[in-house]
Amino acid sequence: MIKFGIRQSFDNIEQVEERYSKLDVPVELALPYYWNIYEPVRGRLTVQAPITDERFKIWGNEIADFARALGATNITLHPNNVNKDKAIQDEALNNLEYFSGLYKNDVVFCIETFEGKRRVFAPDEIALFNLPMTLDTSHIREDEKVWSLIKGYKERIFNMHLSAREGARQHLPIDDFCKEVVRYLIDNKWTGNVILEYLPEFHGHLLNDLGLLKAMQ
């Protein structure tokens, strides 16, 4: 069974009530990940954290505890930009393995797909290291690559960030390709979260598009 929802973020504590109080659909909570936003509210909120940072085990614990308090079972992390080499990747893998053992899959850390060359894990490397994945359709330039990941790695894909792309523009309202992806997932009895992630100027489309996808199931 697929759970459909929308992504919603905030930049300061004052925006939480404004952006979440009237929502009655499942939400992926996107937490602030810049230190100057995070530090003033630390203790009340948690934050995405660079998985290569030596402080990740502190942040990771805070994130996991917050997720469990919300009843969330998985967390999406961005693979941060670094001067990538084997040692850096090994450090990130060790950090992720630490939490895998600590939480026994009660909370799963998923790595989101980004194609930048400096990302500590490229999409193919997420699969190579058998890491839980959040596949973002807008972050991958070629449809064939999206299909390759879905068909070859769907057992380890926990979340799908769904939106269309057009040239360099990302996170546009869903198109026919996005609907084809959802139809394939439904037909293959994939279980996970499909989250609509749109640019702010398209947020007015979210609820209608969410309804369209739920009606496909």
Domain boundaries, the chain: 2-216
Superfamily grouping for domain 2-216: Divalent-metal-dependent TIM barrel enzymes (3.20.20.150)
- Summarised one tens digit per residue, pLDDT across range 120-141 is 999 999 999 999 999 999 999 9
Residues β-bridged to residue 3: 193
Q: List phi, psi (to 5°) of 48.
A: -65, 150
CB atoms within 10 A of CB 57: 15
Exposure on the CB side of residue 90, measured as CA atoms within 13 A: 3
pLDDT at residue 156 tops 70: yes
In percent, the amount of the chain with pLDDT more than 90 equals: 64
Please list, residue by residue across 181-191, b when 16 or more beta carbons sit within 10 angstroms of its beta carbon and e when fewer do.
bbeebeeeebe
| Average model confidence (pLDDT) across the chain | 88
CB-based contacts of 56, cutoff 8 Å, min separation 6: 49, 50, 95
Tokens of 207: 């609820």
